[in-house]
Structure 1
Amino acid sequence: MQSSTKTPTAGGRAAPAPWALVSVLAANMLVDALEVSANLVALPAVGAGLGLPVPQLQWIVSGFAAGFGGLLLLGGRLVEHLGRRRVYLAALLVFAAASLAGALTDSAALLTATRVVKGFCVALTAPTGLAIITSAVPEGPARRRAVSLYSFFGAAGFCSGLLLAGLLTAAGWRWTLAFPAPVALLLLAAGARLVPRDAPGTRAPRGPGWHATAGGLGLTGAVLLLVYGLSHLAGPGREPARAAAAFAGAVPLGALFVAAERRSPRPLVPPVLLRHAPLLRSALGAAALNGSYVGFLLVATLHLAGSGRSPWQTALAFLPAAAPLALSALHSARIAVRLGPARAVAAGAVLAPLGYALYPRAPGADPGPAGLLPATACVGAAFVLAFTALHLQATGSVPAGLQAAAGGLYQTFVQVGAALTAAPVAALYTVGRGPALWLVTAVGAAGACVALGGLAHRGRPRARARP
């Protein structure tokens, strides 16, 4: 990709080249994506180092997803009020601080808190970075290339995180948790120079308001309590009383979110989107796909570590499930359009549970390459077919004025699906690998049913959502 020349600003000075800005924002997306995969590979080492049981260890995964999904909608309002540049740079700084705190602590509670905070930071930087690109790069081929590069780095980041964690965790799990900190600080320094200031009059004059704040915090609290309750439902750590209390606590917090949305003059989720069937089907399908995928990788990570595999061997074993998405990222939209989003989603949603069902379930099964490849290959193909197609299907019939809100709702489902699946999968893993895998397969199959339902509705006329 050729770098563009500098263009003069109103004051006569040369503005930084847009492709330098795009490169920094894309690199941030890479760091955000590798944050998930790197910590998955490091999980067994972290558990051994801190003496954490599996149900408690899963918070490293679910805490990040809960912070991302629960606070994503509120984060959008903060960006409107404070401005893209200010929020983006502040989130990078907090992300770096949380990475260091998580790497240095011996407290499981503090480590979980840093994961929730980092998830919120990514909820701010990922959509804000894309918004900065669309405002800084002129519409047309240049913008399409920039957005493609941004998406590619996100897909490649997951693969890169696997390999990086394989190397760093061998030296010590704290290095894996600490690595994002210096990278985020370098991106902060580059972003302070390259990210343009917000144009006058683009910020909202008032803060997000108490309705949005109460709703966003209520949603996040409800998700965290649901994760806590689900993690105490099975296995040696089964505590029905704690689980029931957590579920009971989640109800008023969920009600707070609903009440705040109903009373808000400008709700976080426009009501019309809740009646938009293609968006809701796609969001539920994506939640099941991402949730089952994260649960599958969690089971495989623990299984490989328990079989004596090193972090590097674990990373290599996961490549067939992750590399296809990275390799096809620049062409995924074209594939979805060629097949039709509904067909692509249905094919991918069927392949995913097939892959989970093929994973070795026998108690003494050795997770060697021959045993893992059929499962990981199916899962990788499922993501190539379905992941981008789900997003296209979700937002394809939503008017331009509702695209941002629809995207936020969709991503909330994706992340909350991961948080709510990882917890019970980890709890069931303490009973046996088979029950955990059956739950993963059931979640994937539920997503397939939603996708096939969408395929059945594909030929029926539907009303477009109105802003």
Structure 2
Amino acid sequence: MSTDRTATAAGNAGTAFGWGLLCVLSGNMLIDALEVSVAVVALPSIGADLGLSEAALGWVVGGFALGFGGLLLLAGRLVALLGRRRVYLAALLVFAVASLLGGLATSGAPLIATRVVKGVCAALTAPTGLAIIASAFPAGPARDKAVSVYSLFGAAGFSGGLVLSGLLTEVSWRWTFLFPAPVALVLFLFGLRLIPGRTTDETAAAAADRAPLSRRYDVPGAVTSVGALLALVWALSGGPGAGWADPLTLTALLSAAALGGAFTYAERTAPRPLMRVRLLADRPLTRSAAGAAALNGSYLGFLFVVTLDLQWGRDWSPLRTGLALLPASLPLALAAARSGRLVARHGAARLIALGTWAPPAGYLWYLLAGDRPAYATATLPALLLVGLGFVLQFAALNAQAMSAVPDADRGPAGGIYQTSVQLAGALTTVLVAALLGAGAADGGGRRTALVLVAVIGTAGLVVALTGLRPGRRAAPAAVPEGAEDR
């Protein structure tokens, strides 16, 4: 039955059936992209209603990115073993339930928990959507158009979320978390009919796999990676307030380092690792991942500070705040359809170098404007500079990362890249929020948080400039027979 459905989807890719499938996938990509921005604008209202501190509010934003980035590598394995259709539909259903519970939460802990769960669901659906498109639409104009539509929905989601959240928060912040529930449920119902099942080759490969479950899922790698991440986030969230020499903070940092080392060892020795460690020797991939991580991490940290400045510092309404933040995201949404042409015409490295100075310049401009920056002369120019940096770099960084990765490694390489981007957003937001909370009494936390954002943005500039040096891509490391997945 699943094979018949796959054949039907592939044979009707250009018909109403095929475009109906694309609507389901793109609609889900849209609500995934909305998740971060709707939370950003609603933060002050959430904090006032639930009595949450700045540090706790950082978890509301960072929790989604934490779930997304923390489970992205394992998500790829789950999809490969359980099948795209089964995982995708289950994630949609869980996403709907988590949205409902998050909107009804009466304290910070359950709200943050649902945010993490929704991030995990996004890790299962966002990359899987592209894989479904690749299998359902034949190579050529039809697939190119489908990928463009899918990407456009993702790029436009963040901008749309700022406005939508502003509108909904005027009524109640709870609607910003409740509204995706019926949308995800509708997508689930249509997905039951439209999302194809496994191909014949995938079904045969799954049936022939007789390896123990621990090997198939790489349990040691999954446990150590998640453990290291949680320990690090705990240290970053508590360090600014308790002090970096606090025993609990030190214990968390040491645990993160130890678990990170254990994860590296597990991946080097596992027969089926979640992450192919040898790909880390690919300089363009790691350089692009670091640059994209700096871009996304500094961006989310900056928006966190600006949102609190506008609503708590200047008493702006949520809708006015959402509209005010658009200059940092709308340019990317408008340029998404042409980003591929820009990269093809000017080259990824050149675009990255042209755009990488803009975000740190914006952060520095905002920092130097003082504790009560005017929107027209400080906030708006900074947001425009950040938007310019995204337009020039976003697609170029991804293209540079994948520029010469062999086809067999593109999936794992994409997992490394996206994991870096999402985790940087989570870690930076949590640390920025902790700094704001620790220095709330004298206002020093805001300055320290903005300095951190500027330093991270500048690190992205330095990484990008190293890519301009003439050199030759390192040849892929030789892979021992039988260890292709390492």
Fold match, TM over 0.5?
yes
Q: CA deviation at 1:16?
A: 5.8
Alignment of 1:315-334 (within 5 A): 315-334=322-341
How far, CA to CA, are the matches of 1:47 and 1:180 in structure 2? Answer: 21
Runs of 4+ with deviation above 6 angstroms: 12-15, 236-239
Other-structure match for 2:113: 113
1:462 to 473, 480, 484: 473
SS at match of 2:190: helix
Query: 8 Å contact 2:366–2:373 — kept in the other structure?
Result: no
Alignment of 1:198-277 (within 5 A): 198-203=198-203, 204-205=206-207, 206=209, 207=213, 209=215, 212-235=218-241, 240-277=246-283
1:161 aligns with 2:161: yes
Q: CA deviation at 1:356?
A: 0.9
What whole-Å deviation, never above 9, does each CA across 1:145-191 have from its counterpart, x for those lacking one? 11011100000000110011000111111111111111110111111
Comparing 335-344 with 45-54, greater Cα deviation is found at 335-344
Change beyond 3 A, Cα 1:402–1:325? same
Q: CA deviation at 1:9?
A: 4.6
**Structure 2 unaligned runs (5+)?**
1-5, 478-483
**TM-score normalised by L of structure 1:** 0.93
The one-letter amino acid of 2:90's match is A
Other-structure match for 1:372: 379
How far, CA to CA, are the matches of 2:171 and 2:316 in structure 1? Answer: 15
1:359 aligns with 2:366: yes
How far, CA to CA, are the matches of 1:404 and 1:76 in structure 2? Answer: 8
SS at match of 2:395: helix
How far, CA to CA, are the matches of 1:61 and 1:337 in structure 2? Answer: 34
How far, CA to CA, are the matches of 1:387 and 1:249 in structure 2? Answer: 33
Other-structure match for 1:309: 316
Q: CA deviation at 1:211?
A: 6.1
Query: 8 Å contact 2:165–2:176 — kept in the other structure?
Result: yes
Q: CA deviation at 1:79?
A: 0.4
Q: CA deviation at 1:200?
A: 3.0
Number of residue-to-residue matches in the alignment = 459
Q: CA deviation at 1:427?
A: 1.9
Other-structure match for 1:139: 139
1:435 aligns with 2:448: yes
Other-structure match for 1:338: 345
Comparing 351-360 with 272-281, greater Cα deviation is found at 351-360
Alignment of 1:66-105 (within 5 A): 66-105=66-105
Change beyond 3 A, Cα 1:95–1:367? farther
Comparing 417-426 with 214-223, greater Cα deviation is found at 214-223
1:61 aligns with 2:72: no
Other-structure match for 2:462: 449
How far, CA to CA, are the matches of 2:200 and 2:109 in structure 1? Answer: 42
Q: CA deviation at 1:210?
A: 6.5
The one-letter amino acid of 1:298's match is F
Q: CA deviation at 1:212?
A: 1.8
Q: CA deviation at 1:392?
A: 0.3
The one-letter amino acid of 2:454's match is T
What whole-Å deviation, never above 9, does each CA across 1:224-264 have from its counterpart, x for those lacking one? 22122111222589883332222233233323322321221
Q: CA deviation at 1:355?
A: 1.0
Query: 8 Å contact 2:215–2:271 — kept in the other structure?
Result: no
Percent of matched pairs sharing the same residue? 54
Q: CA deviation at 1:370?
A: 3.5
What whole-Å deviation, never above 9, does each CA across 1:372-397 have from its counterpart, x for those lacking one? 11101100010000011000000111
What whole-Å deviation, never above 9, does each CA across 1:297-347 have from its counterpart, x for those lacking one? 011011111120111111011111000000000111111222210111122
The one-letter amino acid of 1:434's match is R
**Structure 1 unaligned runs (5+)?**
1-6
**TM-score normalised by L of structure 2:** 0.90
SS at match of 1:231: helix
How far, CA to CA, are the matches of 2:355 and 2:333 in structure 1? Answer: 16
Query: 8 Å contact 2:44–2:311 — kept in the other structure?
Result: yes
How far, CA to CA, are the matches of 1:396 and 1:329 in structure 2? Answer: 19
Comparing 347-356 with 85-94, greater Cα deviation is found at 347-356
